[in-house]
């Protein structure tokens, strides 16, 4: 009997049906990789040395990354147990969903949003409930509030939203929290918060005291440029974070990742300079695209959203031929990360022709 003839084991059908996590396409040496919202800068000063100084590869890491938690606790003026570190904020999302939602339960989020949400919910055995983004591509929080039912166990709010780049304002968030049941876990996913320049945008940490059902997620992958090391953190009530700790795969955060994260926090000045450069590059790119006739939401992360709809594949192909590897979400649009300066120049050199080629009345074109 050959391997393929053997009867297959019984797997959970909903897991077998899941599409595997689709990573941003790799770029060959001559192309720019703008498909995963990565940081184009090298690691911050001191980071490589700090990671390389952790040489006890034969030993397990400190399971709770205490030194990093202490540092973050001091930064945000919370207790050390109100900080939970994970191997990327996606790991923390998985832990929190597992802790709160199982079969028969619902997890509510805006859509389109971060592509990992649906599969994390399915893996937990729970059911996704999606509320469509507003026509301006932002979260429709009143509609989300209306979609909360007896079975809702988790609501995820993503600000800035991946992939549309929109923020939830502080006022919108507070109005939402005012009607959310106090026993319903709300996760505010702030993976891109460091790039936000809109003064009206929500920021989670100052709200933690007011809302005992709120957990804020942040990551070292984006602004801090440590995507390859896998480290993120959750801030929130101890009881909720303890439940997440119980669902976590133990010892997932390596000593190298924790040390690199700590060293990144020491390099805050350089970090802010770099974040400023990326945000300025983003805003200038958006302004030029808008002047060319594109109708795209004002971006607040380190990426842009082109709502190319039915033309998504052809526009993504044209960008690819020009040497830009982007992230198409067929049939909705294309996410383009803000990368190296040269990649922006390439984008802007072809984007005017691309918008002109869109059919009249296309939502990615300005009216008139
Ligand atoms: C909105 C959002 N949340 C969370 C993550 C996960 O980031 P990481 O696991 O690298 O911390 C991402 C990554 O792209 C994201 O876009």
Q: At what angle do helices 255-266 and 268-291 cross, to 10 degrees?
A: 80
Alpha-carbon separation of residue 338 from 164, 278, 327 (angstroms): 13, 7, 12
296 three-class SS: coil
**Measured between alpha carbons, how far is 66 from 279 in angstroms, rounded to an integer?**
32
Burial tier of 86 (Cβ tally within 10 Å: 0-12, 13-18, 19+):
buried
Percent of the chain with pLDDT over 90: 93
Q: Which pLDDT belongs to residue 4? A: 66
How many other C-beta atoms are found inside a 10 Å radius of the C-beta of residue 77? 11
* Per-residue pLDDT tens digits for 22-60: 776 777 778 999 999 999 999 999 999 999 999 999 999
Q: What is the mean pLDDT of the chain?
A: 96
Give the ligand 1 atom nearest the CA of 232: 11
The per-residue pLDDT for 154 is 98
Ligand 1 centroid from CA 89, angstroms: 6
Cα(167) to ligand 1 centroid in Å equals 16
pTM listed for this prediction = 0.96
How many A from CA of 116 to the centre of ligand 1?
Answer: 8
What lines the ligand 1 site, CB under 6 Å?
A: 37, 88-90, 114, 158, 162, 189, 191, 219, 221, 227, 232
90 C-alpha to ligand 1 centroid (Å) = 6
Inter-axis angle of helices 238-247 and 89-100, nearest 10: 100
Residues contacting residue 272 through CB under 8 Å, at least 6 positions apart? none
pLDDT of 336-350, one tens digit each?
999 999 999 999 999
- Radius of gyration of the chain measured on its C-alpha atoms: 21
CA–CA separation, 238 vs 101, rounded Å? 18
61, burial (CB in 10 Å: exposed 0-12, middle 13-18, buried 19+): middle
pLDDT in tens, 171-224: 999 999 999 999 999 999 999 999 999 999 999 999 999 999 999 999 999 999
d(CA 81, CA 245): 11
Grouping H, G, I as helix, E, B as strand and the rest as coil, residue 154 is strand
Strands, E assignment, the chain: 32-33, 83-86, 106-111, 127-132, 152-158, 185-189, 214-219, 232-235, 303-306, 324-325, 327-329, 333-337
Among the atoms of ligand 1, which is closest to the Cα of residue 160?
Answer: 1
């Amino acid at each position: 009997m050959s391997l393929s003839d053997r009867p297959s084991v019984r797997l959970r059908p909903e897991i077998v049906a899941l599409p595997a996590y689709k990573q941003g396409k790799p770029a060959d040496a001559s192309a720019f990789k703008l498909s995963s919202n990565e940081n184009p800068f090298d690691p911050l000063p001191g980071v490589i040395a700090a990671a390389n100084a952790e040489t006890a590869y034969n030993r397990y890491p400190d399971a709770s990354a205490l030194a990093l938690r202490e540092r973050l606790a001091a930064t945000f003026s919370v207790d050390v147990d109100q900080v939970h570190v994970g191997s990327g904020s996606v790991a923390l999302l998985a832990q929190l969903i597992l802790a709160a939602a199982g079969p028969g339960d619902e997890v509510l989020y805006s859509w389109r949003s971060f592509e990992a949400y649906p599969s994390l919910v399915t893996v937990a055995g729970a059911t996704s409930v999606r509320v469509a983004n507003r026509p301006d591509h932002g979260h429709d929080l009143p509609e989300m509030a209306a979609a909360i039912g007896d079975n809702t166990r988790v609501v995820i709010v993503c600000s800035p939203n991946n992939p549309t780049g929109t923020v939830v304002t502080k006022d919108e968030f507070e109005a939402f929290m005012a009607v959310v049941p106090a026993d319903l876990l709300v996760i505010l996913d702030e993976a891109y918060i460091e790039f936000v320049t809109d003064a009206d945008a929500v920021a989670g940490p100052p709200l933690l005291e007011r809302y005992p059902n709120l957990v804020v997620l942040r990551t070292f992958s984006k602004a801090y440029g440590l995507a390859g090391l896998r480290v993120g953190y959750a801030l929130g009530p101890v009881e909720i974070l303890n439940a997440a700790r119980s669902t976590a795969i133990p010892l997932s955060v390596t000593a190298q990742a924790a040390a690199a994260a700590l060293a990144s926090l020491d390099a805050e000045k350089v970090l802010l300079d770099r974040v400023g450069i990326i945000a300025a590059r983003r805003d200038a790119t958006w302004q030029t695209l808008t002047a060319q006739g594109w109708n795209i939401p004002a971006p607040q992360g380190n990426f842009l959203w082109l709502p190319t709809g039915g033309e998504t594949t052809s526009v993504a192909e044209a960008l690819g031929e020009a040497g830009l590897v982007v992230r198409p979400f067929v049939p909705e649009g294309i996410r383009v990360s803000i990368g190296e300066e040269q990649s922006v120049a390439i984008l802007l050199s072809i984007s005017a022709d691309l918008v002109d080629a869109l059919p009249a009345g296309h939502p990615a074109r300005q009216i008139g």
